[in-house]
A and B are shown apart, each in its own frame.
Chain A
Amino acid sequence: MSGLAANARVVRALGARSIRQTFRRPQLISPIIVFPTLLLAIQTGGAGAGVELPGFPPVQSFLQFMLAGSMMQSMMLAGNSGGIAFAVDIEMGFTDRLFSAPIPRFAIVLGRLAGTAALGLFAAVWFLAIGLIFGAQIEGGIAGALLAMALITASALAVGGIGAAIALRSGSASVVQGLFPLVLVVLFLSSAFFPENLMVEPARTIAEYNPLSFIVEGVREPIISGIDASDTLAALAAIAGIVVLGLVLSARALRHRLRVG
């Protein structure tokens, strides 16, 4: 078997393990699906009248507008949950056993990230399905839905890289779990839940420069109006930036983990 095929097998096996682990533990799956779905329902019902505010972009409904935000929330929490599960593996010595196995170290991290990306895809499909069931239209059609799913999957991979880096560096599940509030802060300070121009200062200015806002708009445009090349490119650039950051942090954290054991 070629080296590449063997590595792909390792990544696939670890990715599948990570997905099974998430679905078996309520404390891992619930932040990804239950909380964002609950918040989607509450925010749509509670702040839905906001579409009547002057300056709100033309949308079919507030649910249609909110789908991108819920997908982002779910994706970010999938990255966080992936980091927690990775840290638990480190605490329990499972990762040490993998490090001593004849497999490349990057495949161990990539396996975890593959699982996180698959959960991101699951979240995108889940929220698009909820949107369609409750009457939201996907203006970009099938191509628009596929684009939104692809962007969320890539974002999960990128954010998962940062979660994995923190897990490798700290080796502590409680440290990674402590990032949960930070995830919410970053989300609230983006245009995930309301149009940037209608947010209150200083949230509005921060949201303008928050990379997550670019990703949200890239995911939202195909849903509320159709595919827009400039929004898609901006989203891809933001994702690429987070991927690079995650790679650098993960590589450094992996070196640190191998050094300290």
Chain B
Amino acid sequence: MKYARLVAIGILVAVAAACLLANFLAPAPYAHQYREIPDASPSHQHLLGTDDLGRDRFSRLLYGTRVSLLLAPAAALLSSLLAGLIGGIAGFAGGRTERMVMAATDLFLSLPWLFLLITVRAVLPLNVAPLTSVIITFALLGCLGWAGAARVICADARTFSQSDFLVQARATGSSGFRLLWRHLIPNLRPILFAQFWISIPVFILTEANLGILGLGVAEPLPSWGSLLRELESFSTVSTQPWQFVPLILFIVVVSSFHLVLTRQELPT
């Protein structure tokens, strides 16, 4: 397992480096349409061929990976912080506060995510640049994805608040904020960290789902969602197997995240 984890970390580092260096590695601008050669097969000029509008697939893969791989962790960080704040306070306070916050969390969890995202996306301003739209999409994912993690954190915070070391800290006269800041949060950090890692592949998948529905990142900016959309029609894809490369990369990256996560979950 240790070897597998090292390989996973290596893959993630390599993929992250490749997409961060996309400006140098990409053989063509990701949005440029080579209209004379749409749907071209792989060649020296276009390593993964061109898409249906004649755009270089390899360049789009690099930039799409950058979008998904940078913004999914950002969204995961946002949702983990929200989950830590809401779940931590609820668990620490206990009693009526906890019941009320958890009832609100349950209500939030029962909302159909996809429809909520579609609705929120629909009321946002239309005239926004593609980069803004992608940030909005991931910010939405971050704002809406805290509830499940908040439940876990609340349960742990409750356990800690009743633990001996916290009782001892109270007995020595520590105030509420000091208890929270010095004693509770440091102990919740591994759980928050685990929630953060769990959320990354979830958000990547959600963006991919939104992209497949055509509601993700706006054209011409690529993302894994928009790249995976090309696989909708298997009768067309079957003649162009190189279109599976984004899917393979997607599976490899998400699997690598899970392997790395196993390491984080181990007791330290």
**B and A form one assembly:** no
